[in-house]
Amino acid sequence: MDVANVVIGFIMVLSFFGLVWYCIKGYNLMVGFFVMSVLWTSIALIGNSISPTSVMEGKSVIDVLTNVFQTGPENYGKAILVNIFFGAFFGRVLIDTGIAATLIRKVVELGGDKPRITMSLLCIVTAVIFTSMTGIGPVISIAVIVLPIMLSLGIPSPIALFSFMGSIMAGIFGNIVNFTQYQAFFATANESYASYDYNTYFKFGIIAMAVSLIVVLIVANLSMNKKISRAWAATPDAGTTVDAPAISWISIILPVIGVVVFKLPIIFGFIFAALFALVTCGKLKGGFASVCRMLSKQFSDGAIDVAPMIGFLLALAMFNNAATYASPYFKTLLGGAMPQTALLLCIVFAVLTPLGFFRGPMNLVGSGSAILAVVVATAAWPVQFLYPLFAITTVAPQHLDVTQSWVAWGFGYTKVPAKEYMKMSIPTGWIIGIILCAIVFIMYGNLV
């Protein structure tokens, strides 16, 4: 073992823990990941000048810098940004047409004054909505409808917040935009992984969504008192909004149906579903210029919804490429400890799922992209097996986590102390991780 590589590996591991600490402290992630990209690229270049590594073979300093700071964000943009922008546009349409709000009101009327049943129905419809929608804007738009309903039913605010955020997390397991986002990490880590598509993932995505939702609802129900509280509260919102027509409701799942059943490209799916929603809700009226203005506004509102996320994702793309240059040093340190069988890898992922919280090392939209590079470097894992494992340790912890922008917003909105919320969110994320890792082994373990 080369001493220089070991020393560099230790420095990188230390900086990695520094990043985890930085994430936990809640500092700006975009800046943090950019600084880490600079740091790891510099350390890797220094290391390569001492003891050349295979990943930098034949590359000049300019090539490395280009790969990290130019190609990384560029490739990410090509694969992701467009989908995210159109997904956000679609989300805005669902909000503006009142379709999402109508669906929520309808399920509430199905459940009535039965807090547990109505909460479950609200969680189911929220999860379905978030298989297509994404971004903090749509989350807030739905939250300001769902959370007051739950509170008015006497559901304690920590449980209302947890069950709502948990059901978004469940929906994200089936979310096509999130899939594309994470899949880009895999395509970067190993070119052969680029062919893995949403249709192949879909079966697991739906199972993961159902399992997560069930676990969230069980935890929420167990956390509730047998008898529900009664509150005297006042609100200026009378909730007399006009309902969107029933035919328009299907637009919520049209993008997913389009991709899975008709093999449509996702951007077309989003545009078609958005137009369907607008037509069926009678919003394409008032002349061409007026409709153009409305569409333009919805697109720009959607873009604003996801803008902070885009900045972070672009910095993350740099870090992701920098991590490929760091992987030889991680492999030197951790390669011997990496599991080599499907069962062991599933067990390791199940046990380490909590490390996906706080943007930790198991989280792809945290510091996990370096681990992905190491895992990919140690063995030729089939992507059908590896992707769901990382999806589990990314989606479940991340979307329940206090570092998630909309969860942080939820604390401010409901005044729920983070500690109260985390008592439910962390065990839930872990339980979901254990169950889903077992399912991955059963479904895809034979591919290894």
Partner 1 sequence: MQVQMKLGDMTHNLLQVDDEAWGLYAFSRDILNQRILPERKTEMIAKAIACGKEYAQKIILEYGSTDVRMIAQKLKLKLEFQDALMTGKRVLFACYTPPDKIEIMEEPVRKAAELIQGEEPAIVELFQQAVIMNTILGHEIFHFVEDQFEQEIYTRTEKILLWSLLGYKNYSTIRTLSEIGAMAFTQELNRLSYSPFILDVLLYYSYDSSSAEKIYRDVLGVSSGRCREPVEDY
Residues near partner 1 (CB under 8 A) are 105, 108-114, 118, 144, 147-149, 151-153, 157, 225-240, 242, 413-415
| 184's tokens | 């880009």
Q: Which is nearer to partner 1, 60 or 235 (CB)?
A: 235
Shortest distance (Å) from residue 231 CB to partner 1: 5
Shortest distance (Å) from residue 152 CB to partner 1: 7
Shortest distance (Å) from residue 283 CB to partner 1: 19
Nearest Cα to Cα of residue 326 among 32, 16, 115: 16
Q: Which is nearer to partner 1, 59 or 105 (CB)?
A: 105
Task: Determine contact, residues 129/142, Cβ cutoff 8 Å.
Answer: yes
- The Cβ of residue 46 has, within 10 Å, a number of other Cβ atoms equal to 12
Shortest distance (Å) from residue 245 CB to partner 1: 13
Q: Which residues contact 42 (CB under 8 A, 6 or more apart)?
A: none
Q: Which is nearer to partner 1, 239 or 282 (CB)?
A: 239
Shortest distance (Å) from residue 193 CB to partner 1: 43
Nearest Cα to Cα of residue 355 among 411, 408, 410, 401: 401
Shortest distance (Å) from residue 147 CB to partner 1: 7
CA distance 176 to 26: 27
Shortest distance (Å) from residue 56 CB to partner 1: 52
Helix (H, G, I), strand (E, B) or coil at 307: helix
Q: Which is nearer to partner 1, 147 or 365 (CB)?
A: 147
Burial call 104-117: b when 16+ CB within 10 Å, e when fewer: bbebbeebeeebee
Sign of the dihedral defined by the CA atoms of residues 262, 268, 272, 278, in that order: positive
Q: Which is nearer to partner 1, 45 or 228 (CB)?
A: 228
CA distance 419 to 405: 17
Burial label for 360, CB within 10 Å (0-12, 13-18, 19+), is buried
- The Cβ of residue 337 has, within 10 Å, a number of other Cβ atoms equal to 8
Q: Which is nearer to partner 1, 102 or 178 (CB)?
A: 102
Shortest distance (Å) from residue 405 CB to partner 1: 17
Burial label for 233, CB within 10 Å (0-12, 13-18, 19+), is exposed
Q: Which is nearer to partner 1, 149 or 259 (CB)?
A: 149
Q: Which is nearer to partner 1, 139 or 211 (CB)?
A: 139
The 8-class DSSP code of residue 399 comes to: T
